[in-house]
Structure 1
Amino acid sequence: MLHDRAAAAFDAAGQLLGPAAEFDEARALLAEQRARIAAPLRIALVGRVSSGKSTLANALLGGEHVPTGIEELTYNVNWLRHGPARTLTVHFTDGSPPERRDIDELEKLTVRARGTPELAELLSRIDYLEITDPHPYLRAFDLVDTPGLDSHFGEDSANTLRFLALDEGDVRAATLGQAAKADALVLVFARGLASSEEELLRDFTGADVSGAGPVTTVGALTKVELFWPAHDDPLAEGRRVAGRLMDAAGARRLLYDLCPLASLVGSAAGSCTDDDFADLVALAALSPRDLEDRVYFGAEFAAGEMPDVPVPAARRRALHTRFGGYGIVLAARLIREGADTREALRAELYRGSGMADFRTLLADHFGHRAELVKLARAVTHLKSLPDLGDGAPRARATLQRAAAAVTRLEHSEHAFAELAVLRGHYSGAVALEPPEAADLLRITGEYGHAPHQLLGLPADAHGTETAARARERLTHWAGLTADPVHSGATRRACRVVRRSYEMLVDRLDRPDRHRASGPYE
């Protein structure tokens, strides 16, 4: 298995370095990269300020896990990791040891409000905030909520930056720095921040994030609830806009997909309480048109006198803040259609927000290649190992051998060849017909690594059917390899896919030689 061979390569590199003090820095880099491979995949949420990254993080986790706000700039990086309880640890830029803080201080340390000089001094030294949370989704992924990329801050945020003695470049640098440390990216684009689709197109072309590409990057078109009430189904309108953006902006070379999301609704679905449900049931008793007319004027709905509505203004205001106008109207419609319990409503709201499909997409697209993506990043980092010595010929030769013990995996392991073919497919260098392109994605693990998933068969497919299908696809790709119509990158891709099928056939013919689980042979 690739996992075992990678572990053996790291062991060999460590043995070559030995205990000599001159290799302390090299050993530290080797240990850091080995730990990264064993750790959960790290996904960074990257986008413009106020694009909805924090709301998206909350929606992915089904509740309120990081602070959100529109009046102040979320400057600090929030790194969410799995843990048995909610904890908060502050990491500093000046080398000070990490400091454990009460989780109730998270908002104070994240959403920058004007305060005392002492608070300003503390905030200016923070590198990132590490938050542990017991949510099961974080077992697979770490989520990194970054500040923002643009310089369109507005007066309130500009005041916050001055209070902290920061500038707009610091915010972009913090975001790009964390993006560079991530294994995968979610680029967040907000329809609400753009005055037109053309401005959104400019956001695409201006998303200068190192390492972005369809293998490791997915797009989120957030705040599509703002298409309401001009569009009764804002998610459908979001899909239309997302499709146009993917085609017109050439984003298919940057993103695997662009998913429209009513993430405010998704976040509210996860935190909906019994009191919320009771209030929404009361609002659902109004006629649909009456409720829509009232919710449309948000300020009046949140504070106005409504003697015929048995929901006090304060609770209406709280609902409007957390669910938004569209979320309230959608929840009322779902209740009328039969969502008669809080849990049923939460599930329907989550599906209706687009978040259920998006969460599945992240698990499939990133999760099925997580080990390979992390190993590829480690190989890239360890290529710098020979530069960590003092320049002495013998030391440099040792560092080169240690680096080669790991970096040779890039040339000896078939999984890396598959990764190169995928990148060629997304860049357009590999030109395959749609059925073959779908085959390429499948056999390289897009939908999982069990034989039936690699072959596009049902889970209960019989062993003989599975073996026959594998041989049929191998024959097909052997023919493509010999076809003179293919040349260059496409012919090389055909060879790689043919080899993938050869390995699968061998795996099926001799199961005793292969483990029952694990993605890479």
Structure 2
Amino acid sequence: MSEDELADTVALIGTARGIYARDKRALAVLDALERRLTDPLRLAIAGIVKAGKSTLLNAILGEQIAPTDAGECTKTVTWYRYSQTPSITVHLHDGPARRLPVRRERGMLAIDLGELSADDVEHIDISWPAPALKSLILIDTPGIASISQNISARSLDFLTPNDAPSEADAIVYLLRHLHPSDLGFLEAFRDTAAGASQTVNAVTVLSRADEIGSGRIDSLLSAGKVALRYERDGELASLALGVVPVAGLLAEGARTLRETEFMAFRELAALDRPVRERLLVSADRFVRPAAGLRLGERERKDLLARFGLFGVRLATSLIRAGADDSTRLATQLVQHSGLVELEEFVQLHFQSRAATLKTRGVIDRLEHLVSERPRSGTQPIAAGIEQIRANAHGLRELTLLSSARVTGLGLSPGETDAAVRITGGSGLDAATRLGMPLDATTQELRAKALTEIDLWRSAGQSPMLNRRGADVSRVVIRSLETIASDLGPSRAREDLTHVATAG
């Protein structure tokens, strides 16, 4: 999304302010839209009950902040934003917002709603000085498919509202096994969050992936095979950009590893092999009283609660393989948890396109406002929205990437792979888009871009190409022209004119 398109969106909101100057409700919506443009990307975490949403959120934050018990606060939508000063604010359906004291119990943030119930709360806002929140607003949602319809409804009303676009820009959806309810939710989210562009802005996480392999050291390998099978599922492929296996409990424990826990793991690793293997046969055996073992029963139960049996087995194995301090062990545990792959996926597909995703959500909501509250003089807003959509090439790229997964592009497999790469399916930097080495010079990249433009122009003019393929070719050419322009504005314009004349 270019600065001009962002400025056009801000200008449209200004136009709407003039038209709705006497409508307090509409002005509140416009205020929220302006904040959405300046806020970081809104990434919601959703899934069925007990899928591990709050645990994953804590792992991403690198702190045990999100409560994981069954208290009232876990039944509400909770926003996590960056601030240098921690604060907790409860927003009610009826009545003014309330500030709550910030306190922690056993390291976890304690949120006491007092006499309030989850039914009274619209959402909770938590401001926290976590570095991850500088580039993301994380939204924790109650479990879907809960035995309580009220709890499920809070997530569904927020993420897939019937009468407005979704408040989330993208979503991480946790599943343990692929059920029709998962597909139903993801389809509803696509229809409400994708808006007119019909892009796919969800990634699924195969949650608690270590349990798939019964806690064995190679559990994530087994989970990876299951994730790949789900990813190739025809229905799921049209609703999510990928499936990433993650052992959330291990990721949370690794990101918050304490020195005392490292010392406990080191003691386990130093046991004689027969003793250690008997101890790690099962969770029950691990916490059972054992004569001659210096590590107490309470300490072992705490390790199991924090890392799971998979994490305990893996940590002792890594220490024996050379992880000789807590920092090195934590780093290796995170790498084995699948969290790094998820964070890289979010960065590639969502954060790198934050401006485009945010602007799309804003203009969809602005269009809904005009439709919901018609006024004379709104025609310039409708026209402006159409112009932004027509000029916003980032939206066309997202739509192409979605179509590549759902309906195909009408091209050969090789051409499809190239089109996906050029439009940012593997990364947004020029070298990755052009399939060039990362150390390629600007001159080499420019030459490659111009060559590709020539090739795609020729292919797009082929009488054998179907209409769908021709439309895709135009999007790819526009992407290549943008790359060439960014690499050298003045020289690129001369070369593009030459290429266009030659074509």
Tell me the TM-score normalised to structure 1 length: 0.84
Task: Give 3-state SS (helix, strand or coil) of 1:460's partner.
Answer: coil
Task: Give 3-state SS (helix, strand or coil) of 2:377's partner.
Answer: helix
2:417 maps to which of 438, 451, 471: 438
Shift of residue 100, structure 1, vs aligned partner: 3.4
Q: How does 1:42-441 map to 2 (within 5 A)?
A: 42-69=42-69, 74-104=74-104, 109=111, 119=114, 121-151=116-146, 153=147, 168-179=148-159, 180-190=166-176, 200-208=178-186, 210-212=188-190, 215-229=200-214, 231-248=216-233, 250-288=235-273, 290-302=275-287, 304-387=288-371, 389=373, 396-441=375-420
Shift of residue 182, structure 1, vs aligned partner: 0.6
Offset from partner CA, 1:26-57 (integer Å, 9 cap, x none): 44333321221211111111110001111111
Shift of residue 329, structure 1, vs aligned partner: 0.5
Task: Give 3-state SS (helix, strand or coil) of 1:210's partner.
Answer: helix
Task: Give 3-state SS (helix, strand or coil) of 1:473's partner.
Answer: helix
Distance in 2 separating the partners of 1:454 and 1:242: 26
The percent identity for this pair of structures is: 28
Distance in 2 separating the partners of 1:508 and 1:234: 45
Q: Which amino acid aligns with 1:457?
A: M
Offset from partner CA, 1:81-137 (integer Å, 9 cap, x none): 111133221111213224233243886548xxxxxxx94544431222211222211
The answer to whether the 8 A contact 1:225-1:262 is kept is yes
The answer to whether the 8 A contact 1:383-1:407 is kept is no
- Relative distance call for 1:399 and 1:205 in structure 2 (3 A) is same
After superposing the two structures, state which structure 1 stretch, 19-28 or 365-374, moved more: 19-28
Shift of residue 484, structure 1, vs aligned partner: 3.5
Distance in 2 separating the partners of 1:377 and 1:256: 18
Distance in 2 separating the partners of 1:69 and 1:261: 20
After superposing the two structures, state which structure 1 stretch, 16-25 or 370-379, moved more: 16-25
Shift of residue 297, structure 1, vs aligned partner: 3.3
Partner in structure 1 of residue 497 of structure 2: none
Distance in 2 separating the partners of 1:20 and 1:173: 31
Task: Give 3-state SS (helix, strand or coil) of 1:416's partner.
Answer: helix
The answer to whether the 8 A contact 2:404-2:420 is kept is no
- Relative distance call for 1:374 and 1:330 in structure 2 (3 A) is same
Distance in 2 separating the partners of 1:330 and 1:312: 20
Task: Give 3-state SS (helix, strand or coil) of 1:129's partner.
Answer: strand
Shift of residue 305, structure 1, vs aligned partner: 2.1
- Relative distance call for 1:15 and 1:79 in structure 2 (3 A) is closer
- Relative distance call for 1:329 and 1:94 in structure 2 (3 A) is same
The answer to whether the 8 A contact 2:201-2:350 is kept is yes
Shift of residue 314, structure 1, vs aligned partner: 0.9
- Relative distance call for 1:5 and 1:135 in structure 2 (3 A) is same
After superposing the two structures, state which structure 1 stretch, 174-183 or 329-338, moved more: 174-183
After superposing the two structures, state which structure 1 stretch, 435-444 or 354-363, moved more: 435-444
Distance in 2 separating the partners of 1:89 and 1:103: 13
The answer as to 2:493 corresponding to 1:493 is no
Distance in 2 separating the partners of 1:9 and 1:297: 58
After superposing the two structures, state which structure 1 stretch, 256-265 or 231-240, moved more: 231-240
The answer as to 2:453 corresponding to 1:474 is yes
The answer as to 2:436 corresponding to 1:457 is yes
- Relative distance call for 1:282 and 1:20 in structure 2 (3 A) is closer
Structure 1, unmatched stretches of 5+, are 111-117, 154-167, 192-199, 515-521
Partner in structure 1 of residue 163 of structure 2: none
Shift of residue 23, structure 1, vs aligned partner: 4.8
Shift of residue 25, structure 1, vs aligned partner: 4.1
Distance in 2 separating the partners of 1:368 and 1:65: 26
Distance in 1 separating the partners of 2:269 and 2:401: 49
The answer to whether the 8 A contact 1:339-1:345 is kept is yes
- Relative distance call for 1:375 and 1:40 in structure 2 (3 A) is same
The answer to whether the 8 A contact 2:65-2:109 is kept is no
Q: Which amino acid aligns with 1:146?
A: T
Distance in 1 separating the partners of 2:228 and 2:104: 41
The answer to whether the 8 A contact 1:298-1:320 is kept is yes
Offset from partner CA, 1:366-391 (integer Å, 9 cap, x none): 111111011111111111343455x6
Distance in 2 separating the partners of 1:201 and 1:248: 12
Distance in 1 separating the partners of 2:76 and 2:281: 34
Shift of residue 142, structure 1, vs aligned partner: 1.0
Partner in structure 1 of residue 162 of structure 2: none
The answer to whether the 8 A contact 2:187-2:239 is kept is no
Distance in 2 separating the partners of 1:226 and 1:504: 44
Task: Give 3-state SS (helix, strand or coil) of 1:296's partner.
Answer: coil
- Relative distance call for 1:124 and 1:385 in structure 2 (3 A) is closer
User: In angstroms, what is the RMSD of aligned CA positions?
Assistant: 2.8
Partner in structure 2 of residue 503 of structure 1: 482
Distance in 2 separating the partners of 1:406 and 1:72: 41
Shift of residue 189, structure 1, vs aligned partner: 0.6
Task: Give 3-state SS (helix, strand or coil) of 1:333's partner.
Answer: helix
Aligned residues: 478
The answer to whether the 8 A contact 1:13-1:401 is kept is no
The answer to whether the 8 A contact 1:62-1:266 is kept is no
- Relative distance call for 1:20 and 1:313 in structure 2 (3 A) is closer
Partner in structure 1 of residue 32 of structure 2: 32
Q: Which amino acid aligns with 2:439?
A: D
